[in-house]
Structure 1
């Protein structure tokens, strides 16, 4: 049993927070870093069974509450709040989620890896959430408690192995019994609690277990029945095709520029014989003496690019391992653990890239550069995360990181990531600066008056539209997995979309960079970073739309937590996409000016 969560609240809670029956004799298993970050707190279960020994209406415990006792009243109120917000149990057997399967539209069956603790019928007699499944739940202004569960364990016999049998599915059906007679507890009508109940209230918890042999389900495919009930594959293929169309369009545009326009330009420039011909030329050739001029605030740009490189490599390696199946949902918390460990170990490329670029920009404050690379972006993320953690602590949520884990995260940052960043920066500053194909003039060239479309802001805004168009459908499923507690398992699709995003950001930035250079605007460094980085702004706008249109989150704490964590994701995405755009543009500018004869 690893806790409860709700789609109407960002706050997960430990199993014991709702005063259910608990197991006090067994030691709770340890969780990995990813599980702690996601608020999964595994508890030993009081629901015991032995293989192939059915259990019928076994009593677990009885909880008694007296509303005249302030402590009991607080526990009962918290339980009612949990039912009102549709909090769900999450149980596991043999690392398999115990699922609640029920019929939905078109004869389909949906298997939810969780089941509700109860439900509420309003004063008007309207059943909410799980109360709609039972017509007997008709008491107005009452909370119905699912105090009994029927568990069905599916298995198959393994021949020629010592294991004997393997569990291939675990399904549960929550029920409610009033239990008026202790001799036969699973009897009577549904158990409900009036909203304004006073006095003593008893909740007996019971369970039944049945075993069914199923020879059709292979052990390697035992997760399939859960994943197949999440019908997203067709939409995913539509998303991929949509993204590929955008990529082909951009590739065609870039190819046309590279093969036709640039080829003709370069041939014409290299065949110029007279001064009159040279005076007639205009466009990107005229700014060759300024195109590699160091940008304003080069220190900040180099720091952003160092952090962006760290995030890019981390994302690529994590998704690659996920595609190989090492980070599947069966390995709980493995995805987040892998990402955090990789980020810590990738301090060296961050320091190297930041130092090398800062040196090429002519910077001399190398100590400041290294310190900012090691602390600026990670510090902003940690500060936001710490504030969110304080809110979770205040709310008593299981997602609140324990103090010891917080210290461990800081130790990983200061004792591993920071020294590695210094090592990378040392090699970056020691290496010679990046050699540019053309010399930079001493006096900056005046930039002519720009049209509306070649001004910085409109170009940056337009640049983020196409990359966002490639990912927004995939983004919907990722946000669903985070905030609606759905399982995300389609890492092959995600890796493909990741590659498409990299290509789209690169091509859109190159395209706009070429137009700006033709307009004799040579300030391409920050513009290339912000052009593709502006995709993060569209991501933020979409996340706000998703919050108001798709989620049912209520409460100030949950709202603050949603937007706090969204800001962290937007910052990481900004650095990631901005870095892709800069290096694509850097390659493009270096390439075109290296093949032109410059007098």
Structure 2
């Protein structure tokens, strides 16, 4: 649909865009879009069109909502049948700021109010009698909305008004970005801070009291005195650095997690510094993708260093899997979802050319950088363990139910999810409910809290395992923090049924497919954070023991 050009500060009354007749298939298509709450998006001077709406919780202030709905459902008075109506008349309001120095004007807002009007024609159908210079009376006087039905004439019309504002051009995005209640964000931060302080207190008690006391007593023992028997975490010092099962896969996922961590941190810092302005459409996604490509260097380096420390020798295979495993699985899911959108003829599908460019950048930038980083990592001297590893593995004693790996891993994932779920709610709302989200400061604080929580909960649970003489901590540390992704995905399922009203199978598949990719990336990110925290903890406590 093309709308005729209009000029600055020249108001237009009701203007006819086009007249269409709904065929046999059109009503079903419109009804499906109305059921799925499809919205129409337009842009004027790089500003997206928005609908004014009141805030929730009885507030009198108003906020912007991105785009306008295709139509709505309703009933006539006294009727029980639910009908579908089209928003076929758009009242645009262009807000501008006038410069008193040179009398020029710049656009600082673009609002729309959609209406449903059943337009009337003259006897011969050549002129629309309900579209004239008196736009306001047209809207107020029309009591019959445009119903969606077969063989129905639908006329699309619009009008344009202008309003002067004190908002300066540099601040024109402020109204679009003030979409969320600050009190909820501060509640989220306070909630996260309480969790962090609680875990910090437990960790301080373990390190300052229990561990310090154990290390002091152990180092004061006479090696010739065998009357004192070692117990707890000290007894497994000869097995704690034994390479885990499938150490190559662990190295691959740690490298992928470092790459995602670097991408996330870089993007958030650039956004905080103001380099990723919302006026630059697509800038945030472009920055994320490019930073992920260039972080392939540290991904290869981290994976190679860990793999070599775990006595791995097949560095080429390790590098190959680091380059392709996580992005390959994610891209395969994304390609299937995009193919479904292609088949549906959706404008939201990524074009084949763009997909081809992304693959070329992946193979041309990320993969070579992973190989360079891996080469540099393997050239470094191997990291020597602080204690020697026994040749024969020690038998792990039977653990009580509350120290079972699956139970502790599931428990460990609750708190990392707890500190970010409110911000995650706002992110989901901005993606799926057409709202703006650009409060990067809150998101950065939530990310820092997430890092601290993943580190602390993993260290605490790792200590409980080592105290129970269970030295198989490598994969457990990764999965403990990474299990928060399970709760993230379950929350997205809950959000789907509570907040969204999606009925089409393909649309449901797209939602859960994208949430699966996001949860998978979150698993790799949090798992890597927990693993490195646990590695540092184990290294520090066992390097403090005086063992011959």
Deviation at residue 252 of structure 1 after TM alignment: 1.2
Deviation at residue 195 of structure 1 after TM alignment: 5.2
**Are the counterparts in 1 of residues 35 and 502 from structure 2 also a CA contact under 8 Å?**
no
**Are the counterparts in 1 of residues 408 and 461 from structure 2 also a CA contact under 8 Å?**
yes
Pick from 444, 454, 468 the counterpart of residue 505 of structure 1.
454
Deviation at residue 184 of structure 1 after TM alignment: 4.6
1:108-507 to structure 2, matched below 5 A, reads: 108-122=61-75, 141-160=82-101, 164-181=104-121, 182=127, 184-186=129-131, 187=138, 189=142, 192=145, 194=147, 196-197=149-150, 199=151, 201-215=152-166, 217-228=167-178, 230-273=179-222, 275-276=224-225, 279-507=228-456
Residue 135 of structure 1 aligns with which residue? none
C-alpha distance in structure 1 between counterparts of 2:402 and 2:219, whole Å: 30
Residue 9 of structure 2 aligns with which residue? 52
Please give the secondary structure, in 1, of the residue aligned with 2:142: coil
Residues 63/451 of structure 1: CA separation in 2 closer, same or farther (3 Å cut): same
1:100 aligns with 2:51: yes
**Are the counterparts in 2 of residues 247 and 500 from structure 1 also a CA contact under 8 Å?**
yes
Residues 99/408 of structure 1: CA separation in 2 closer, same or farther (3 Å cut): same
Residue 134 of structure 2 aligns with which residue? none
C-alpha distance in structure 1 between counterparts of 2:333 and 2:450, whole Å: 27
C-alpha distance in structure 2 between counterparts of 1:453 and 1:443, whole Å: 28
Deviation at residue 449 of structure 1 after TM alignment: 1.8
**Gapped runs of 5+ residues in structure 2?**
122-126, 132-137
**Are the counterparts in 1 of residues 118 and 146 from structure 2 also a CA contact under 8 Å?**
no
Deviation at residue 190 of structure 1 after TM alignment: 5.3
Q: TM-score, normalised by structure 1?
A: 0.85
Residues 206/275 of structure 1: CA separation in 2 closer, same or farther (3 Å cut): same
Deviation at residue 76 of structure 1 after TM alignment: 4.5
**Are the counterparts in 1 of residues 96 and 165 from structure 2 also a CA contact under 8 Å?**
yes
C-alpha distance in structure 1 between counterparts of 2:215 and 2:83, whole Å: 79
Residues 191/146 of structure 1: CA separation in 2 closer, same or farther (3 Å cut): farther
Q: TM-score, normalised by structure 2?
A: 0.92
C-alpha distance in structure 2 between counterparts of 1:377 and 1:324, whole Å: 29
Residues 232/224 of structure 1: CA separation in 2 closer, same or farther (3 Å cut): same
Residue 14 of structure 1 aligns with which residue? none
Residue 582 of structure 1 aligns with which residue? 531
Residue 74 of structure 1 aligns with which residue? 25
RMSD of the alignment, in Å? 2.1
Residues 191/386 of structure 1: CA separation in 2 closer, same or farther (3 Å cut): farther
**Gapped runs of 5+ residues in structure 1?**
1-20, 23-45, 68-72, 127-137
Deviation at residue 300 of structure 1 after TM alignment: 0.5
**Are the counterparts in 2 of residues 459 and 531 from structure 1 also a CA contact under 8 Å?**
yes
What are the superposed Cα offsets for residues 533-552 of structure 1, whole Å, 9 maximum, x if unpaired?
11111111111111122221
**Are the counterparts in 2 of residues 142 and 193 from structure 1 also a CA contact under 8 Å?**
no
**Are the counterparts in 2 of residues 142 and 192 from structure 1 also a CA contact under 8 Å?**
no
**Are the counterparts in 2 of residues 144 and 190 from structure 1 also a CA contact under 8 Å?**
no
What are the superposed Cα offsets for residues 334-387 of structure 1, whole Å, 9 maximum, x if unpaired?
111111111111111111111111111111222211111111111110111111
**Are the counterparts in 2 of residues 125 and 141 from structure 1 also a CA contact under 8 Å?**
no
Deviation at residue 74 of structure 1 after TM alignment: 2.8
C-alpha distance in structure 1 between counterparts of 2:377 and 2:118, whole Å: 72
Deviation at residue 196 of structure 1 after TM alignment: 5.0
Deviation at residue 298 of structure 1 after TM alignment: 0.1
Residue 26 of structure 1 aligns with which residue? none
Residues 153/90 of structure 1: CA separation in 2 closer, same or farther (3 Å cut): same
C-alpha distance in structure 2 between counterparts of 1:429 and 1:85, whole Å: 53
Aligned residues: 533
C-alpha distance in structure 2 between counterparts of 1:523 and 1:562, whole Å: 37
